């Protein structure tokens, strides 16, 4: 092994799984999944989870960690990935990180969580302010907690204002101090990294998305979603709102044609691809680009 993390990323349906498996075979490596949906059990078809036969040939980590009813966030992923990487390194193998989930991927390069624990009473207080006084009440209190200075965040976004206020109240610091402390944190993964971005021709990728969506339905996506709805009283927000699952849940309730379902999933996947490409350009340091054909 060479003490380096090989990170293979790219937009949905570009071909990361096959490329990464071949790469791992050639480089005596094991794979760490960097996908926010592959952590869920019983969500296999709609997430395009690698087949069991491939996972037996090359060991995969950070998959099937929790039930789809459970919350899973980036801080939990970091702990799981650190444990997996330590295990791979101790076995004298190389590490291949594969995936394209925004903050999960970003965590390999930069700190993404500040480690501030929000006490229940602080969370309840901020939620109560929002319920009783709305966004204006949140903004007023945040400015007061920040030495009467308006912090540089989107003050029209309740979620962002609530998050900033909770952190300021929880640690007793101004927003600027919270941000300064966060900026001084080290990356959770102190390894040398070589990042490979996989790309395809736009029309080729579009065709792959349509074909993959049709294959998902043929393999049993509808049955998979019905299983989830039948076996879990409540799916996590991440699970039920994932592309492929959200549309299928609505389709089951509306009973339109399967062609309409394929069309909706494919169109929403294409919208995701556009966002992913922007993210890679702005957030991820790329060492090598490979055009797949």
pTM for the whole structure: 0.88
Take residue 264 and report the two structure tokens written for it.
């909706």
Look at residue 114 and tell me whether its pLDDT is greater than 90.
no
Look at residue 199 and tell me whether its pLDDT is greater than 90.
yes
pLDDT tens profile 124-145: 999 999 999 999 999 999 999 8
pLDDT band at 1 (very low <50, low <70, confident <90, very high): low
Give the pLDDT of residue 167: 92
pLDDT band at 187 (very low <50, low <70, confident <90, very high): confident
277: number of Cβ within 10 Å? 14
Give the pLDDT of residue 278: 92
Give the pLDDT of residue 147: 85
pLDDT tens profile 236-261: 999 999 999 999 999 998 878 999 99
End-to-end CA distance of the chain: 29
Give the pLDDT of residue 184: 84
Mean pLDDT of 263-289: 94
pLDDT tens profile 206-247: 999 999 999 999 999 999 999 999 999 999 999 999 999 999
Residue with tokens 């991927």: 105
pLDDT band at 151 (very low <50, low <70, confident <90, very high): confident
CA distance 164 to 8: 33
pLDDT tens profile 37-50: 999 999 999 999 99
Residue 16 and residue 10 in contact, taking contact as beta carbons nearer than 8 Å: yes
Percent of the chain with pLDDT over 90: 79
Strands of the sheet with 4-10, listed across from one edge: 60-61, 29-33, 94-98, 4-10, 192-199, 288-291
């Amino acid at each position: 092994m060479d003490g380096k993390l090989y990170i293979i990323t790219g937009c949905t349906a570009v071909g990361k799984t096959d490329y990464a498996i071949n790469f791992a075979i050639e480089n005596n490596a094991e794979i760490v999944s960097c996908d926010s949906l592959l952590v869920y059990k019983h969500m296999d078809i709609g997430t395009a989870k690698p087949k069991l036969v491939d996972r037996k040939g090359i060991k995969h980590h950070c998959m099937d960690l929790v039930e789809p009813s459970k919350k899973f966030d980036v801080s939990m992923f970091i702990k799981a990935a650190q444990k997996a990487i330590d295990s791979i390194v101790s076995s004298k193998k190389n590490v291949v990180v594969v995936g394209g989930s925004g903050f999960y991927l970003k965590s390999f390069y930069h700190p993404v969580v500040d480690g501030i624990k929000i006490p229940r009473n602080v969370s309840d207080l901020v939620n109560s302010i929002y319920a009783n006084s709305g966004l204006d009440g949140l903004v007023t209190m945040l400015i007061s907690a920040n030495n009467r200075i308006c912090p540089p965040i989107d003050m029209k976004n309740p979620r962002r204002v609530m998050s900033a206020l909770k952190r300021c109240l929880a640690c007793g610091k101004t927003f600027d101090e919270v941000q300064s402390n966060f900026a001084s944190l080290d990356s959770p993964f102190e390894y040398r990294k070589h990042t490979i971005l996989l790309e395809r021709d736009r029309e080729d990728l579009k065709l792959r998305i349509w074909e993959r969506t049709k294959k998902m339905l043929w393999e049993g996506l509808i049955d998979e979603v019905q299983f989830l709805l039948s076996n879990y009283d409540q799916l996590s927000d991440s699970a039920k709102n994932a592309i492929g699952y959200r549309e299928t849940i609505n389709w089951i309730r509306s009973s339109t044609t399967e062609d309409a379902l394929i069309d909706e999933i494919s169109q929403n996947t294409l919208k995701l691809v556009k966002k992913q490409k922007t993210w890679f350009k702005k957030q991820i340091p790329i060492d090598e680009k490979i055009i797949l054909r």
